[in-house]
Structure 1
Amino acid sequence: MTQFYQALLRDGGQRLGPRLRRSFAAWAGVSDDGSPRLDVAKGRNRVALADNEVCGRYLLDAPAAGGRLRTTATWAAAQSAAKSWVRVTVEGDAAEDAPARAPGFVAAFLATGRATDGAVPVEAGPHLVGPEEVKELTAWLANPDRGVPLIVLTVDRTEPGLVTACADHLSAALAGVAVVARLYDTRTQDELNSWLGPDLSVFGGGLRTYLPGVRPGEETYAMRHQPRGGGAIRDHGIRALGVVIEGVADLSVHRPLPTDIRQAEPRVARVLSGALAPEELHAPPPSPAAIAVPRPPRAPRPAAPPRPGTAPPPALPTQPAPPAAETPEPEPAPPAPAPAAPETDATADAPVPDDLADRITARLADRLDDSVLDALVDMARGGDSETTGLIKTMSAHLDALTRAVESSGLLGPGPRGPGQELRRLQEQYDQLESDYVELQEHERKAQDRIRWLESRLAEHADPVYGVQDADLDGPWEAESLMDVVQRARKQLRHLDLPDTLDTEVSRLDVMYPRQRRRWTGKTWDALRALDAYAEARAEARFTGGFYDWCTRPLHGGPIITPTMVSMKESDSVSGNPKYYRARIFRVPADIDESGRVFMPSHIKLQAVGSPAPRMHFLDDAGGATGKIWIGYLGDHLPNTRTN
Structure 2
Amino acid sequence: MSEWQPPREVATDLVYRSLFTSPEPDLRERAAELFAAWATGKNVPVDAGTLLDGGSAEAESDGTRRIASGSVGAYSDRAGGQQLEAAVFRLEEHPADGSRWTTSLRIAVPHQTGQKDTEQPWVWLDLEHRRTPDTAPVRPGSPRLIRDLLAAVEGVDASLPLTAEVLTITESHVGELCGWLFDTGRRVPVIVFSPDPQMAEQQERFAAKLARDVTGVAVVVRLRDASAAAAFSRRVGPHLHVYGGGMRTYLPGLVPNEPFPRRHRILSAASMRALGQRSANAVRDQVLALSTRRAQPASYVLVRRALSRGSAEVERNALQDLLRKSQREAADEIAMLYAEVDDLTAQLAAEQVAREQVEDVRLQWELGEIELNDLERDNDRLQARVRWLESQLATHQVHVAGQETPDRIVPPGQVVEVLELAAARLPHLVIGPTADAAAGLDVHPQAERWALKVWQALTALNAYAAARAAGTWRNSFLAWCQEPPSGGIAVPATWVALSESETTGTTPRLRESRTFPVPAVVDPARRVFMQAHVKIQQGGSPCPRLHFHDDTGGRTGQVHVGYVGDHLPTANFR
Instruction: Return the TM-score normalized by structure 1.
Output: 0.45
Greater length-normalized contact order (CA 8 Å, ≥ 6 residues apart): 2
- Bigger proportion of residues as strand: 2
Instruction: Return the TM-score normalized by structure 2.
Output: 0.50
